[in-house]
Amino acid sequence: MRIAYVSLHWPRTFSSGVGKKIHRHLNAWKLKGHDVRLFMHTANEPGLDFLPGDKFFYPTQNGFAQREIGRVRAAKKMLRAVERYRPDLIYLRYGIYVYPVHRLAYTAPVVEEINTNDVEQHKELGVVYSLYNRFTRGILLRSISGLVCVSKELAKLSVFRNFRKPTKVIANGIDLNKFTPLDTPNNSLPRIIFIGEHGHSWHGVDKIVSLARNFSDIRINLIGYEALPENEPLPDNLISHGYLSSEEYLTLFSLADVAISSLALHRVNLTEASPLKSREYLAYGLPTIIAYKDTDLEKVETDYILKIPNTEDNILTHGKLIRDFAYEMRGRRVDHKLIAPHIDNQVKECKRLAFFEEIIQHKTQEGMRNNHKKTLL
């Protein structure tokens, strides 16, 4: 197959979780003998370690109107480049609709990856963005040929099911062959790590700050947060490191006893997920705390994963349990043999590619039926 991977709006870098995921997809598909190219519609931010691919930049500092005009112009250039590439299928990492991306479907069947409930998520960006998303999301969803959802819960939501598209559930995975469990540190007091980014309330960073305030004998490192003005002054046992490269944050990972995944999915009305951060934690051998139903790990019974409720008060009710877990996991690492059957990427990518073949075959048959009808007329 000839596959165009299209990413909208966000810079895709080697240091970001999503960027790493896209890079894993591209490599896995190439290893299976497919021709793959990445097309990025993104802001032009200097100093970023962009993934290799075709980039279509738009301005970010010239005022709202000029920025939005720039988005459209960049999207049009990208569509022309995708058309010249002549793909058999387009895989779309969606953000928010920009004209005229629905026309991707004129070039090849489009499969869209669904990572979140966008209707709920865009409420956090304010009324304007929320309303814009509600009124425009259907333009694209009606044009596509299939959906890949990262959880069973997302696949069942009416905001996607109502479009009646073929759907495959493939949770986020990771290429375990490229990771080695880190050596265990020798900490007298437990160290906890969390990696994320601003603007995502479901990460629950405010809860992590509360955890640090309530238990002064644990040490917490936050990665991806330049400042937390709404939570300042920060407690002395919590350090916010801002954006770090993979090499930089790996040093902090190696000092950690346990890691925390998303703590507040309830804020976007979700109960199930397969966060990229949790896969990376486990791949490096870090025992992990989760507050949701994990699509792949729900039935895995192990001491290395602490499951707490997906509730607003989960730190208040289970803070001591988290503290005790951090003490218990000192000097321990997760064995790959335990998690490989559930989160390793190889099986997942075979399923994704098989779904692509099904979509292409379906569109081909649909085209033949339409041509036959025209002949009869």
Residues 284-302, mean pLDDT to the nearest whole number: 94
DSSP string covering 100-155: TGGGGGGTS-EEEEE-S-HHHHGGGG-HHHHHHHHHHHHHHHTT-SEEEESSHHHH
Instruction: Show the 3-state SS of 162-174.
Output: CCCCCEEECCCCE
Residue 229's pLDDT is 63
Residue 369's pLDDT is 58
Residues 180-186, mean pLDDT to the nearest whole number: 94
- Cβ(98)–Cβ(252) below 8 Å: no
pLDDT tier at 372 (50, 70, 90 boundaries)? very low
Q: Which domain holds residue 191?
A: 176-338
Are residues 181 and 82 both part of a single domain? no
- This prediction's pTM: 0.86
What is the percentage of the chain residues whose pLDDT exceeds 90?
A: 69
Are residues 39 and 113 both part of a single domain? yes
Are residues 228 and 362 both part of a single domain? no
Residue 203's pLDDT is 93
Are residues 188 and 106 both part of a single domain? no
Are residues 234 and 355 both part of a single domain? no
* Helices then strands, each counted (H, E), the chain: 12, 15
Instruction: Count CA within 13 A, CB hemisphere, residue 309.
Output: 9
**Cα–Cα separations (whole angstroms), residue 42 to 4, 96, 110, 315:** 16, 12, 20, 37
Kindly report, residue by residue over 125-179, the tens digit of the pLDDT: 789 889 999 999 999 999 999 999 999 999 999 999 999 999 999 999 999 988 9
Question: How many CB atoms sit inside 10 A of residue 354's CB?
Answer: 11
DSSP string covering 38-100: EEEEEE--TT--BPSSEEEEE-SSS-HHHHHHHHHHHHHHHHHHHHHH--SEEEEE--S--TT
Q: 């007298």: which residue's tokens? A: 188
Residue 12's pLDDT is 80
Residues 329-334, mean pLDDT to the nearest whole number: 96
Residue 374's pLDDT is 53
- Cβ(82)–Cβ(102) below 8 Å: no
Are residues 249 and 312 both part of a single domain? yes
Mean predicted lDDT score pLDDT of the chain: 91
Are residues 130 and 202 both part of a single domain? no
Overall domain count for the chain? 2
Are residues 166 and 244 both part of a single domain? no
Euclidean distance between CA atoms 162 and 65, whole angstroms: 33
- Cβ(189)–Cβ(333) below 8 Å: no
- List the CATH number of the domain containing 369: 3.40.50.2000
Are residues 165 and 113 both part of a single domain? yes
Are residues 227 and 157 both part of a single domain? no
Are residues 144 and 220 both part of a single domain? no
Are residues 16 and 160 both part of a single domain? yes
Q: Please determine, for residue 370, whether its predicted confidence score (pLDDT) is greater than 70.
A: no
